[in-house]
Structure 1
Amino acid sequence: MDFYNQTGKMAIGSRLRQLTDKITADAADIYKLYQIDLQPKWFPVFYALAQGNLTITGIARQIGHSHPSVSKIVAEMSDKGLVTEKKDKEDGRKNMVSLSRKGKVLAEKIKDQYSDVTNAVEAISKEAQHDLWKAIEEWEFLLNRKSLLQYVAEQKKQRESKKVRIIPFKPIYAEAFKKLNEEWISAYFKMEDSDYKALDHPKEYILNKGGAILVALYEDEPVGVCALIKMDDPEYDYELAKMAVSPKVQGKSIGWLLGQAIIEKAKSLGAKKLYLESNTMLKPAINLYYKLGFKKVAGRATPYERCNIQMELEL
């Protein structure tokens, strides 16, 4: 067990597999002890059929196995003379699987084994400090709700997001501000006059008019940008605009961190309401805006051909 003490919880799959292998090896010997000619891997299918006739699909659904897996096991059990297959009387396209006479005899014979194994597991549980059965049920519930892969991806995102710093714009980031925006705009649309005004002259068009630009650094490299453009509008204070994140660092919550930071910046400037324009084909961006609290609005004039959705956020 020194290996698992060293690796810790990251080796959960290997450790569970080792435990499963140990129990499965014992299971094979237990069948021999009771002179039951059954392979451990057949048990779920055998038990399901002992309750009644089923189709391959019905068995798979009941025991949580794949259709090919069940089909293979049924074929193996059929070779041993434990099951039979017949066309469904009501639907000739389906094959009904049932225990053969030999299988039914085995189903009666195995009942003592069922009782003894159940009592043995309960005896182990009484000696154990933790209830493994309840823990398995709980883990199954949690992993059905969200996979281990999703849990790990979230941890990866959290760890990598700690390497992100959001800082105010400096002249040295003017090239990154333009390049990052040109990259995504050109990938989906075409650059327009309003883009060039903001990207070629951020100081004159944004900063000098009371706006702000934030830059996201990942390991000290500028990988994301976002701007607040002061609006001459009775309803809105600022437009959230020119948000861009490099594709090479997407998936590290940089857009989310930038969005939160720019909203806090707007609050510090006394803003009460923000406005933005986008396009619905940019699904990740639209989902981010909704997550940040923006709501869809309509009917406003826009200088951009690509704009087909307008949103606002009350602060």
Structure 2
Amino acid sequence: MNFFEETGKVAIGSRLRMLTDKVTEDAAQIYKLYNIDMQPKWFPVFYTLAQDKEKTITELAKDIGHSHPSVSKIISEMLKKGYIKESKDKTDGRRNVVSLSKKGVEISEKIKDQLIDVNAAIEEISAQTQNKLWEAIGEWEFLLEQKNLLRRVMEKKKERDSLKIEIVDYQPKYQEIFRSLNVEWISKYFTMEESDYKALDNPQGYILDKGGVILIARYEGEPLGVCALIKMNNGEYDFELAKMAVSPKAQGKNVGFLLANAIIEKARSLGASKLYLESNTILKPAINLYHKLGFQKVAGKPTPYTRCNIQMELVLK
């Protein structure tokens, strides 16, 4: 069995590591071929100093895309070999800079023929391939800089998890989860207030019987999120989006976004033209979600909650 044909692209890290190990092993032998005592991992630092004369470790790390500790270790090894030297920056005596020593400069001249031959060998390989590895690496580096692989996998996981989420209408059997999820987050950041108890202890009478709605988000059948529309009779707003709570168990599963979208669509189906909500800016993920959904900040509305320090509205089109 060819492992990489069997596993496919999910083993890209292992395959690239094997390719890197193979090339690095050859590189070590190539240095010996040209009688140059050099470790392959030193080359980026060595080459940069050969071009730019002197640099701080911070500058080197930035130039070659390595971490500061990694470059420090390489510098230490090259100092022991006598290829570089340290000195004070002439323009800023507080900074140390490194540059090639006399021995290092001699190596930089000696290595020129090697670089010519290595480049020619790489060009020869490229000419025999359909896919240009060097250009592809550049494209991958650019794309991963915009969004790394971890984030991309997290997004795919969230998309797949979303397929397991269903939004259902409230039933009396969900009263306890409706209450407990809300009590959990409110008690974590604030103090339960009278209006909380009115809605959570009697959702049927306080919300549903007055024309409101409660939706439940279930993940693989388990209720993990709740949200309500509370009917408003002030002439400006149709409903208040309220009592939205998601279990910590649902983190990263897109439950909050799907639930909020569902409750907004429910409001539209009921003929609503404008929604209102109250929150607190300490709840940054929630505020970011509301902005993502199109809510805009408003001010000056009366509120029964002492914890409220931000009010928002959504105009439904």
- When normalised by structure 2's length, the TM-score is 0.96
What is residue 42 of structure 1 aligned with on the other side? 42
Task: State the alpha-carbon separation in 2 of the partners of residues 53 and 280 from structure 1.
Answer: 48
Shift of residue 56, structure 1, vs aligned partner = 1.9
Alignment deviations for residues 198-243 of structure 1 (CA, whole Å, 9 cap, x no partner): 1121111111111111000111111111111111021111111111
Matches within 5 A, 1:249-264: 249-264=250-265
What is residue 139 of structure 1 aligned with on the other side? 140
Shift of residue 246, structure 1, vs aligned partner = 0.8
Identify the range of structure 1 (129-138 vs 263-272) with the bigger mean alpha-carbon deviation.
Answer: 129-138
Task: State the alpha-carbon separation in 2 of the partners of residues 80 and 307 from structure 1.
Answer: 65
What is residue 278 of structure 1 aligned with on the other side? 279
Give the gaps of 5 or more residues in structure 2.
Answer: none
Letter in 2 for 1:188: Y
Alignment deviations for residues 22-53 of structure 1 (CA, whole Å, 9 cap, x no partner): 00011111111222221111111110111112
The SS at the match of 2:228 is strand
Task: State the alpha-carbon separation in 2 of the partners of residues 126 and 295 from structure 1.
Answer: 57
Letter in 2 for 1:29: Q
What is residue 198 of structure 2 aligned with on the other side? 197
Task: State the alpha-carbon separation in 1 of the partners of residues 305 and 251 from structure 2.
Answer: 25
Matches within 5 A, 1:119-134: 119-134=120-135
Task: State the alpha-carbon separation in 1 of the partners of residues 208 and 77 from structure 2.
Answer: 75
What is residue 110 of structure 1 aligned with on the other side? 111
Letter in 2 for 1:35: N
Matches within 5 A, 1:74-223: 74-223=75-224
State the number of aligned residues: 315
What is residue 303 of structure 2 aligned with on the other side? 302
The SS at the match of 1:154 is helix
Shift of residue 57, structure 1, vs aligned partner = 2.0
- When normalised by structure 1's length, the TM-score is 0.97
Shift of residue 267, structure 1, vs aligned partner = 0.3
The SS at the match of 1:226 is strand
Shift of residue 300, structure 1, vs aligned partner = 0.7
Shift of residue 68, structure 1, vs aligned partner = 2.2
What is residue 7 of structure 2 aligned with on the other side? 7
Alignment deviations for residues 54-80 of structure 1 (CA, whole Å, 9 cap, x no partner): 222222221112222222222222222
What is residue 269 of structure 1 aligned with on the other side? 270
Task: State the alpha-carbon separation in 1 of the partners of residues 86 and 286 from structure 2.
Answer: 54
Alignment deviations for residues 252-291 of structure 1 (CA, whole Å, 9 cap, x no partner): 1101000000000000000000001111111111111111
Task: State the alpha-carbon separation in 1 of the partners of residues 222 and 77 from structure 2.
Answer: 59
Task: State the alpha-carbon separation in 1 of the partners of residues 221 and 67 from structure 2.
Answer: 48
Shift of residue 2, structure 1, vs aligned partner = 1.0
The SS at the match of 1:208 is helix
Task: State the alpha-carbon separation in 2 of the partners of residues 302 and 142 from structure 1.
Answer: 46
Task: State the alpha-carbon separation in 2 of the partners of residues 259 and 56 from structure 1.
Answer: 49
Shift of residue 93, structure 1, vs aligned partner = 2.1
What is residue 27 of structure 2 aligned with on the other side? 27
Task: State the alpha-carbon separation in 2 of the partners of residues 83 and 241 from structure 1.
Answer: 65
The SS at the match of 1:243 is strand
The SS at the match of 1:280 is coil
Task: State the alpha-carbon separation in 1 of the partners of residues 78 and 280 from structure 2.
Answer: 58
Verify: 1:228 aligned to 2:229, yes or no.
yes
Alignment deviations for residues 158-190 of structure 1 (CA, whole Å, 9 cap, x no partner): 111211110111111111111111111111112
Identify the range of structure 1 (79-88 vs 222-231) with the bigger mean alpha-carbon deviation.
Answer: 79-88
